Amino acid sequence: MNYPKLGIRPTIDGRWGGIREGLEEQTMGMARAAKALIESHLTYPDGSPVKCVIAPSTIGGGAESAKCADFFATQNVTGTLTVTPCWCYGSETMDLDPLTTKAVWGFNGTERPGAVYLAAVMSGHAQRGLPAFSIYGHDVQDLTDTEIPADVQAKILRFAKCAIAVGLMRNKAYVGIGSVSMGIAGSNIDADFLQKYLGIRAEWVDMTEVLRRIHLNIFDREEYEKAHAWTKQHCIEGIDVNEKPHTDEQKAEQWAFVVKMTLVIRDILMGNDKLNDIGWHEEALGRNAIAGGFQGQRMWTDWLPNGDFSEAILNSSFDWNGKREPVVLATENDGLNGITMLFLKLLTGSTSVFADVRTYWSPESVERITGMKPTGIAEHGFIHLINSGAAALDGTGLSKDHNGNPLIKKWWDVTDEDIAAMTEATDWCHANLGYFRGGGFSSHFRTQAEMPVTLARLNLIHGIGPVLQIAEGHTVTLPDDVHKALDDRTDKTWPTTWFVPRLTGEDSFKDVYSIMARWGANHGAFAYGHIGKELITLASMLRIPVSLHNVGDEDLYRPHAWGAFGTKDLEGADYKACETYGPLYK
């Protein structure tokens, strides 16, 4: 895999004859230290370390800047980190490539003015319309100090992680299988948005392609037998709520169908070399997808088994082959939620969970229905996150770290014990035929652990463009009887997560109701951990403003030029900066 790399640019005082020579080792030392830091902490989606390349030489002027740019062009460099301990000639040494995401680390030492260069080159970036992130340590260091301070490390790593995410999306595809589901606006895949903001190609595949491949056996039949056997053993059927249920024979046929459908959808998105062996060379190529969605409702589900099994398994961190990288597949072809899931996956290395943002439960309503008033972190109420039958099984919250704490793991850390726990906690209810006339099986579980998570949603707003919403919080567990009383009021065959956003007492986060009331769509996605600050940094790189979040001002890290758009109203400044600079790939 030709993953994008970070390019490190060691800039230096260009004056030969006594000044430059004495700075070579220190400057290159900063570059090597930054490279080691990034490569030891960050990973690509397959779990391998992120790779950095250093310019062939220190950069003291325009000629060496050009040589560096030529070298980086051969290395698939997506972002650049310029480092220096000294004064350099700003406009001669800066990165002028409009498509690289940029940061500059100026050493905070008094012997040489690295911080002065940092300020000068930030001015140059602002004047040239090339936003860059400023990295400046809080404390003065000695000339001989080769350690990277903790605050500098944090900024380098956040910048690098997000810059790699930008590069991973570039020249990939979002593949919508089908079209618009039930009039859901997010299903209207906006090709201009994907292209101009993310560098992603929009592709559409008619749902009849899934049928064609199933009927003509265009899938790996050996893997199908393995997958079908695994499903029979590990996917236990749950309740059937239908007054006139399908027969056991019909259900067996539907199980076979949805397993084949899962293989087919994966192959459409990602390709499969095994198809070459059976003579289907075009189909073996796939669509170069980094994410996709399945329309399902209603043209498909009124007649054929729903996509719940396919969506749940593909989005999970494992299948019949064991642990593997999650495949982002959006329910109801909600591409905006699919891209949100993609953001979350790229920043965490773990799966993200698709959900309807269904209901706000106030403490008073909970007490009225159940007789119990919620306590603890749920005391101010909570939001019911529930997907219409499909959610990644990692959402059970049953993976455990070495200390037995629950979490959603990076997929490469998932163990056989984790997989067993997740599958045993999930049953597969036969589809509610009122919704899904063609049958199928819905993943049914509840999140069984209290974990830090971040809920997010990307929206498109006429006259503005894309905006991102973020709510850090926790999943909560409820007593069995309380859970059942509330959960059964919706659909007892679907997966449930009870979510409590972290309140700040201000604006949209003054209470749980306000967050629910101001959420921008019927869908959202959540991932493990409080990663709102990383989402905000990534959004600024893509020129997407953030319309709602509960991240503290001290954790906001955006390009240095954002400060020129205002420092009191940071949300307004973000909107104005994104409007001014426009999408990354105009």
325 annotated as a binding-site residue: no
243 assigned to some structural domain? yes
| Burial state string for 73-99 with b = 16 or more CB within 10 A and e = fewer than 16 | eeeebbbbbbbbbbbbbbebbbbeeee
b/e burial code for range 115-134 (CB count within 10 A of at least 16 → b): bebbbbbbebbbeeebbbbb
φ/ψ (deg, to 5) at 355: -155, 150
356 annotated binding-site participant? yes
Residues 436, 407 share a domain? yes
My answer on whether 40 and 53 are in the same domain is: yes
Q: What is the pLDDT along the chain (586 residues), one digit of tens a residue?
A: 789 999 999 999 888 888 888 889 999 999 999 999 999 999 999 999 999 999 999 999 999 999 999 999 999 999 999 999 988 998 999 999 999 999 999 987 766 777 889 999 999 999 999 999 999 988 877 777 788 999 999 999 999 999 999 999 999 999 999 999 999 999 999 999 999 999 999 999 999 999 999 999 999 999 999 999 999 999 999 999 999 999 999 999 999 999 999 999 999 999 999 999 999 999 999 999 999 999 999 999 999 999 999 999 999 999 999 999 999 999 999 999 999 999 999 999 999 999 999 999 999 999 999 999 999 999 999 999 998 879 999 999 999 999 999 999 999 999 999 999 999 999 999 999 988 999 999 999 999 999 999 999 999 999 999 999 999 999 999 999 999 999 999 889 999 999 999 999 998 999 999 999 999 999 999 999 999 999 999 999 999 999 999 999 999 999 999 999 999 999 999 999 999 999 999 8
Contact 101, 163 (CB under 8 A): yes
In sequence order, the 6+-apart residues with CB closer than 8 A to the CB of 78 are 4, 5, 6, 100, 101, 163, 164, 166, 167, 168, 170
Q: Based on the structure, what is the number of domains in the chain?
A: 2
Domain check: are 221 and 151 in the same one?
Answer: no
Residues 469 and 536 both lie in one domain: yes
Look up the domain containing 289 and give its range.
173-581
143, 155, 181, 375 from 147: Cα distances, Å: 11, 15, 54, 46
Q: Do the domain assignments include residue 350?
A: yes
Clarify whether residues 519 and 444 are in a common domain: yes
Q: What is the pLDDT of residue 107?
A: 83
Please tell me whether 523 is known to bind a ligand.
yes
Same domain, 37 and 126: yes
Residues 450 and 5: their CA atoms lie apart, in Å, by: 36
pLDDT number for residue 110: 64
Number of residues assigned to the chain:
586
Beta strands in 381-440 (DSSP E): 382-386, 399-400, 406-407, 427-430
Report the CATH number that the domain containing residue 402 is assigned in CATH: 3.20.14.10
Residues labelled as active-site residues: 332, 356
Domain boundary among the residues 120, 146, 169 is at: 169
pLDDT at residue 452 in the model: 98
Q: What pLDDT is attached to residue 141?
A: 74
Rounded CA separation 2/12 (Å): 30
Q: What is the rounded CA–CA span in Å between residue 311 and residue 313?
A: 6
DSSP secondary structure code for residue 374 in this structure: -
Q: Are residues 160 and 197 in the same domain?
A: no
Q: Answer for the pair 296, 442: CB distance below 8 angstroms, yes or no.
A: no
Helix, strand, coil share of the chain (percent; to 5): 40, 20, 40
- Tell whether 335 is covered by a domain: yes
Decide if 586 is inside a domain. Answer: no
Distance CA 102, CA 237 (A): 51
47, part of any domain: yes
| Beta partners for residue 527, in sequence order | 454
Regarding whether 144 and 212 lie in a shared domain, the answer is no
Residue 368 to residue 582: CA distance in whole angstroms: 49
Of the candidates 95, 129, 77, the one whose C-alpha atom is nearest the C-alpha of residue 10 is 95
Verify that 162 and 187 share a domain, yes or no.
Answer: no
According to the model, what pLDDT value does residue 176 have?
98
For residues 357 and 468, membership in a common domain is answered with yes
Nearest one of 155, 156, 165, 173 to 44, comparing CA atoms: 165
**β-strand pairing of 77-84 with 5-10:** parallel
Taking alpha carbons only, the member of 135, 85, 134 closest to residue 110 is: 85
Considering only CA atoms, which of 345, 237, 260 is closest in space to residue 307? 260
Same structural domain, 208 and 249: yes
As given in the structure block, the two tokens for residue 12 are: 């230096």
Residue 248 has phi, psi (to 5 degrees) of -60, -35
* Domain's final residue, options 113, 140, 169: 169
**What CATH number is attached to the domain comprising 135?**
3.40.50.1070
Count CA atoms closer than 13 A to 296's CA, side-chain side. 29
How deeply is 523 buried, as exposed, middle or buried, from its count of CB atoms within 10 A (0-12, 13-18, 19+)? buried
The answer to whether residue 227 is domain-embedded is yes
Is the domain of 415 the same as that of 523? yes
- Do 167 and 4 contact (CB within 8 A), yes or no? yes
The structure's pTM equals 0.97
Tell me the β-bridge partners of 486.
none
Residue 302 included in any domain: yes
At which of 135, 169, 203 does a domain end?
169
* Residues 515 and 509: beta-carbon distance below 8 Å: yes
